[in-house]
Chain A
């Protein structure tokens, strides 16, 4: 790939931000994987393709709430962005059916997080 130059920075930022508006992210650091995030990722992948959804499925690092792993963050336009915790395979399938397709937030799995960001 071509070497990055100063003017590429804004273009990359715009293209990432304009990327998928509907996405699911699975925490896949050692803590998440130990808690079964690999299985959860596969369950989500299967259910998304079975239901023919176009939601973007990605991995990310550790959010810090290791006690509540596996963590799955879901962003669907029109719904608040939420983090589901202690996700099971059944819950993963329900995320696709209920949250992505049914546009409903799942009961009893949301983890609220409180922190401020040091810079924006």
Chain B
């Protein structure tokens, strides 16, 4: 107690708790190349797996000849669906209530589908052996367009579902129909349209894209034939769910299955699903009794593991003549590929698409989503967004622009007119979501002022008046609301497991701590930010708090990291686990200071006796006491576990503005300015928030300006290498300006809402809004993505604006 007395502020600063821009704990190992990714894992006796894939998009397997492959020295096994049949592992359940072929069973349904696996001494021998497996196919007609797939005479994609008129999400009325999902009130919406003074409608296609994380998917499966237990290192955003599924599929008790997600090089939804490669590697390891590694290459990643989007959308708005929206109708045809493997909460086959009423107070709304099978790879994951929120935000933001254009109103003005007002929160939308909090107008005003919106519009008018202007100038504006933090287990589950999340905190005798979580970081910086939450809650410096995730044998059960759920759900679990510890610590401190609990005040890192600053016990003092001599009637130790089941989703929002200059000669679009204001509620680490926003904006830029997965008529995917698939580097990426407001979530223990996906969700329609705005004086209401130079140049020519 002889140390110089530090002020509370100084002590708080030293904790590096919530609100501090603490440097990322993860970076030291990553920038030195010392991360530990799945492909870094080497085990004694490890074999390598490679996959034989279908060259065609639809066909029957006539014959498979393994002999030549098996004759290659170093090849241990070649397995096909027929080999998996006795184990009943040739098909597996998907997260969406469908089944997917592990290895093609009699038929191939999409190009690059897994047909056989080869296990060999090394990756090179495996790759050679893949070429030696001879497969004869009988080609079948290919269906790639979901509208064509729904025609009466369309080829049957899923023969295994013959006669099944009931799917996981209700009636199927066609052999290629998966489900039709409705939300909102159709008759109320129809009535709004009947009475409307103005209506607008717009068709738009949200292209199939791929999250394309830097690290592809893979695993190392290691079955111990003596102990009978299975350890699998895997690129998974949800290791606990993988453990449950693996146990259910293999029959190995969950207690003997250990799933570890080591360092993950980006996920963005691509690493939520269970892929055939994982299942095959596990089976191979069980069969051969040796560790088996499978790591897909880039082409396999883009071609066969989960894609995102592929929504064909029709939107309609009804409004009064002065621009008050009275009704919304949405019809979507969703291309899910050959198996329905969307990663959505079980009851929501179109995810949270019904956030489609956006930030606007729309009294009547209805949305209908029809899922369709086609001869493409399965997927339909949330690519850096909460489930299907990107599609929903894109639709409503485009529609509001279209309406503004029809009415000759300004984009900002029509938005302000229709906002859910600050005093309306908590606000229940026409689709039944209860928005927790928001203040859209304040945020919009802040952005318009920051960019001098009026000045920009004046500049645009001047450019339009000049026929020799070399560029078309466009201003995009989006005022979006996200729904994240899935979710309340009474409505949200994955394979029957509620979408809670968990945290276990142990304070060690000398006052440092370890926290273990059910989530898994893939670049979000959990090891940094989670420690900050504990630091603030318990007064322990974040430097001495260790955060561990991803190992199912040590971490408490959790549903993983996707849909911006880590902070809203796991972050809350941390706070509440810490508060359990805090309550016990208070009892111990009271005992140590010989006062009543109620006579103690908590200040930063210590319990103080009210009115006497010199009498206090720090959390470190308390921890020692807890292990050394706990008060009578209290258990020794200082730890807690909390499973947090969120009462509601959280609703972060943002106001994004983008200025583009389109070269009238080349169609090249220059992003002159991009201003992103985000409100994610309470901010835990502003530096990490900025980093997440930069990343999300960059991925949004990628989607809007270049990413697509084009197929030719035969179902060949023509964009599955990084030569074709656009991943922006710092060369292409524009400069981002970020800003924020803070509107805490009232139901979250910390008030935090989650942020990583907002910039992706919000930026994509902003780019489209800007590009279309550049053409709006020519009567253009919508242009589909991607807005690459060639497509934009064609639009310039079509509308007589090319130089």
A binds B: no
Which residues of A does B touch, CB under 8 Å? none
Which residues of B does A touch, CB under 8 Å? none
